[in-house]
Structure 1
């Protein structure tokens, strides 16, 4: 049970995140953590399991497959998409590592947390994600999905489902290999509202936007990723081409700036929004503003295909200025 968050160190500047103390935490034991290694994800991703006799013991095979998927996803997000790793972003500058907590009472599924924390069980400041202890990475992309959430949390405060879950679901296609061109973008306010009320299903919106911005695609995947295999021999990264990867860092940067501007306007701490505010759909105007800004910078209106130009004209009256 995660208890109340209590700041450990006062925030010295608006650009710095805080480290919170969890007064209660699950009993945890390290199962794979070698922070001094020169190679591998152990430098910044550490695995813990609950210190309990309950549940099925974690096998070395499952653990290795989890590590392989997370390593592949991390390389994809950093080197292929060009995103700044969470621990290098201001919000998480106090975090020393990413904890992957394997829960004995949870068979599958996962959750990404957004605060820097420490606790009686783990004294170093860190950010964390939880996974069911029996997640089979060779058949389940939940670990990569939750890691993408940590990248999102590092770059933006917005957690509206169509952005938070829609983009994370899109990221799964980079490993699954089912990159698609998506359905046509909304052409009226009603269709756009359907997208903004969606969650995982909004992935097709992002697929289409990325395709229109980058119709030629990119098929360059690092050799190290192409050669990664799970214990059963299946390929970890199956994607052969992708769209819009050069645009994504610009989108994240624009969402980051929009969040900072909104925090200043509302007189909130930059990284101290209430959870309800992070998810509030009234901030969709700020998100649309960030999308409009990023697209405009990435592709001048004269170069935009008709479908994209029509969408930009649709959202222009809705954006904050």
Structure 2
């Protein structure tokens, strides 16, 4: 009986210790998660960026000192430079436009990016160009201020970019939408379409649109100047869409100086973007199977290859 009693005692002690260990583990895990969330607002002291600002899925990393500094003006007194506020509001407006007016699937909702928990926006100095968008989710990088352990999508915006006069944030965000739908990164497709879709956010009363190439073969080698191709294609294909005005919700998006972010009157001519991206996605699936390359895992040279240009063009232009 004493042996049995001792056995019950030891067994009880064992489970008590195990329970204590699990409680300790859960406590430590909770603390780690809380610290990880707080870390978004507190970059590493030696990081390239010294400040953050978050809005929805967007996390902006910036600094007010040195080569990569943004102007420090803060007219609305919210503790965030107006330049950062204006970049965020253009991103939010573009995200709203792409999802509600064009009915596109948000990048983070595509299977390719299912492990990503947000979109990082890094504001830095550019010697050339004004922005970049990366198609692969990034791993944690304390030097750039990234404190989360989760993968994220990344955009870089030039610190010289004033979004009141530049469409760079909307342009770079649209690339993430393109990357979510298909693997193709040939420049006439990515840059030409993104340049054309800057139109709703542009201050230009006459948005420059070059002539469209006369054949699919002529698109190879083109880039931003392929926006004429998409402009002409939209005019031909969007006749069936109603010429309704933007939802009144677009008026909520204003810059810190009170000027509107969305300036174009109607989304009807841009409705075909959804069809184009879906067709590109279908072609990407077909080519993945033909080449034996996993979807979402195409090597960079294949993504940028011109071998798909004619097929892609024909997919977009079919009735």
- How far the C-alpha of 1:80 sits from its partner, in A, is 0.7
- Aligned to 2:116, the other structure's residue is in SS state coil
Matched, 1:229 2:229: no
Which residue matches 1:167? 193
Q: Unpaired segments of 5 or more residues in structure 2?
A: 1-46, 73-80
Aligned residues: 259
Contact 2:115 2:150 in 1 (8 A): no
| Aligned CA-pair RMSD | 2.7
Q: Deviations over 1:243-272 (max 9, x none)?
A: 443322121111111112111111112111
2:60 equivalent among 28, 33, 47:
47
Richer in helix (by share): 2
Which residue matches 1:145? 171
Contact 2:188 2:224 in 1 (8 A): yes
Distance in 2, matches of 1:217 and 1:196, equals 33
Matched, 1:134 2:154: no
Distance in 1, matches of 2:206 and 2:268, equals 8
Which residue matches 1:117? 138
TM-score of the superposed pair, with normalisation by structure 2: 0.73
Contact 1:159 1:278 in 2 (8 A): yes
1:203 equivalent among 227, 235, 253:
227
Which residue matches 1:220? 245
- Aligned to 1:276, the other structure's residue is in SS state helix
1:269 equivalent among 291, 294, 299:
294
Distance in 2, matches of 1:84 and 1:55, equals 33
Contact 1:112 1:146 in 2 (8 A): yes
- How far the C-alpha of 1:242 sits from its partner, in A, is 3.9
TM-score of the superposed pair, with normalisation by structure 1: 0.73
Q: Deviations over 1:45-96 (max 9, x none)?
A: 1111269744434431111111111111111111111110000011111100
- 1:11-30 → structure 2 map (5 Å cutoff): 27-30=48-51
Q: Unpaired segments of 5 or more residues in structure 1?
A: 1-25, 34-41, 297-321
Distance in 2, matches of 1:132 and 1:181, equals 23
Q: Deviations over 1:192-229 (max 9, x none)?
A: 43333311111111011111112366342121213532
Matched, 1:88 2:109: yes
Distance in 1, matches of 2:71 and 2:252, equals 25
